[in-house]
Amino acid sequence: MNELQMIADFSNAFGPSGFEDDVLAVARRYAPQDARIEEDSLRNLYIYRKANTGGKPIIQLDAHSDELGFMVQAIRPNGTLKFLPLGSWVNSNIPAHKVRVRARDGSLISGITTAKPPHFMTDAEKNRMPALEEMAIDVGASSPEEAREAYGIRIAAPAAPDVTFEYDEKHDIMIGKAFDNRLGCAAIQATLAALNDEALAVDVVGAMASQEEMNCRGAVVTARRVKPQIAIVFEGSPADDTGVEPWLSQTALRKGPMLRHIDSRMITNPRFQRWALDLAEELGIPAQEAVRSGGATNGAPIHLSGLGIPCIVIGMPVRYIHSHYGIASLSDFRSGVRLATEIIRRMNEDIIRSF
Ligand SMILES: [Zn+2]
């Protein structure tokens, strides 16, 4: 498996919330050859290890497949597209970037997110954040008819950032879009690949969940279908090392994956969390721990599913998530995969019961 090519393919794939089909096509391509794959109507994708017996405790590997994007709400008389955000954008991050809009025939049309050009702004407008209603996606059309007929764009057309993955090998830096959470999708595949020929005391199911950026909807259903006894959530988590004082930084680039003790919707099972952090230390796998006041992951629905599921989040630090671009390092990705792999190798019914 070419790990970098896989990450590039996941990152480049078009897949705003609710429209994850292209991401799932990539996932099918990189899944173990002998795995059983299922898909549901929410576009959740399930990868069942060939060696699963049906008689062992199930560990669910989660990652969400969607990314932040937009949906066309209406076409203005001047041909520009009024849109709604899909996922939590802040307005200052939206305008002046390239996006792709999915047309009626499935093709992807290039456009630009726009706000009023500076030449036509008043001084007051220059000094405030543009409102969503003042923004548009401009594909170059000059009338609603042209947008509809020549471009094939209908209302409800999805759009997503248009950014091509790059890797700077010298500095081990990946720049691209949707690392939240295509790094997680790639991590599921890399973990399944690493374990492929091994006998395990657990059955492993990789579940790529749709619509996480819209309040973790897909994973409500994946947890119901997989019915895990334990879960690992892979995430592309917000790196804080360029945003907070060094003494408060808990998710820095190149310091390994971040395991959160808490976020706004989950208190991580403290026993599973401690066990995972101790294992990382014992094996010399770099890892960071965080106490987060905000944020949430698919751990939120998964840990409350069934009769309550011990669940940890392995988050690869990504600078500037929830914007068009992210910066991450391959070494953090590899440490995250290694930690998950070593956890699964050791997991058994007794350990799960002790959590
Ligand atoms: Zn996110």
Q: How many domains does the chain have?
A: 2
Q: Ligand 1: distance of its center to the CA of 86 in Å? A: 11
**Is there a single domain that holds both residue 338 and residue 241?**
yes
pLDDT band at 273 (very low <50, low <70, confident <90, very high): very high
Strands 108-114 and 136-138: antiparallel
Strand partners, 167: 174
- Ligand 1: centre distance to CA 321 (Å): 7
Residues 321 and 207 in one domain: yes
| Closest C-alpha among 230, 312, 225 to residue 266 | 312
CATH number of 322's domain: 3.40.630.10
Say whether both 280 and 203 belong to one domain: yes
Instruction: Calculate mean pLDDT across residues 225-229.
Output: 98
Residue 169: inside a domain, yes or no? no
DSSP string, 126-183: HTSPPPGGG-EEE-S-SSHHHHHHTS---TT-EEEE----EEETTTTEEEES-HHHHH
Q: What would the mean pLDDT of 286-315 be, rounded to a whole number?
A: 97
Question: Per-residue pLDDT tens for 318-341?
Answer: 999 999 999 999 999 999 999 999
Question: Which one of 105, 134, 161 terminates a domain?
Answer: 161
Structural domain range at position 19: 3-67+177-354
78-105 residue pLDDT tens: 999 999 999 999 999 999 999 999 999 9
Ligand 1: distance of its center to the CA of 34 in Å? 31
Q: Look up the CATH number of the domain holding residue 146.
A: 2.40.30.40
Banded model confidence at residue 231, pLDDT cuts 50, 70, 90:
very high
Instruction: Tell me, yes or no, whether 212 and 257 share the same domain.
Output: yes
- Quick one: average pLDDT of 185-205? 97
Ligand 1 center to 271 CA (angstroms): 26
348 and 204 both lie in a single domain = yes
User: Is the residue at 16 inside a domain?
Assistant: yes
What is the distance in A from the centroid of ligand 1 to the CA of 89? Answer: 10
3-state secondary structure of 233: strand
In angstroms, what is the span from residue 223 Cα to ligand 1's centroid? 19
172 part of a folded domain: no
Q: Does 216 share its domain with 157?
A: no
Domain boundary among 112, 135, 161: 161
**Domain termination site, one of 115, 134, 161:** 161
Q: In terms of domains, do 85 and 194 share one?
A: no
For residue 187, pLDDT beyond 80: yes
Give which of 82, 153, 77, 140 is closest to 115, Cα–Cα: 82
What is the residue-averaged pLDDT of the chain? 97
Rounded to whole angstroms, how far apart are CA atoms 346 and 326? 33
Q: Are residues 199 and 54 in the same domain?
A: yes
Q: Is the pLDDT of residue 147 over 90?
A: yes
Residues 332 and 302 in one domain: yes
Of all residues in the chain, the percent with pLDDT exceeding 90 is 98
Distance 324 CA to ligand 1 centre (A): 12
Look at residue 69 in the predicted model and tell me its pLDDT: 98
- Tens of pLDDT, residue by residue over 164-181, are 999 999 999 999 999 999
Q: Which helix (H) or strand (E) is 267 found in, with range?
A: strand 266-267
63 in the same domain as 73: no
| Residue 57, pLDDT above cutoff 90 | yes
Separation of 354 CA from ligand 1 center, angstroms?
A: 31
Same structural domain, 347 and 260: yes
Distance, CA 229 to ligand 1 centroid (Å)?
A: 25
Query: Ligand 1 center to residue 248 CA distance, Å?
Result: 21
Measured in Å, residue 213 CA sits from the centre of ligand 1 at 6
- Whether 170 is in a domain gets the answer no
Q: Is residue 171 part of a domain?
A: no
Residue 190 lies in a domain: yes
Ligand 1 centroid to residue 181 C-alpha, Å: 7
Q: What's the CA-to-centroid distance between 288 and ligand 1, angstroms?
A: 19
Sheet holding 173-176, edge to edge: 166-168, 173-176, 326-328
Name the token pair of 350.
């007794």
Whether residue 1 has pLDDT greater than 90: no
Residue 61, class by beta-carbon neighbours within 10 Å (0-12 exposed, 13-18 middle, 19+ buried)?
Answer: buried
This model's pTM is above 0.85? yes
| Residue 70, pLDDT score | 98
Does a structural domain hold residue 73? yes
* CA 237 to ligand 1 centroid distance, Å: 8
* Domain presence at residue 168: no
- Give residue 4 CA to ligand 1 midpoint distance, Å: 21
Assess whether 327 and 241 both reside in one domain.
yes
> What's residue 113's pLDDT?
98
CA of 111 to the centre of ligand 1 (A): 23
Percent of the chain with pLDDT over 70: 100
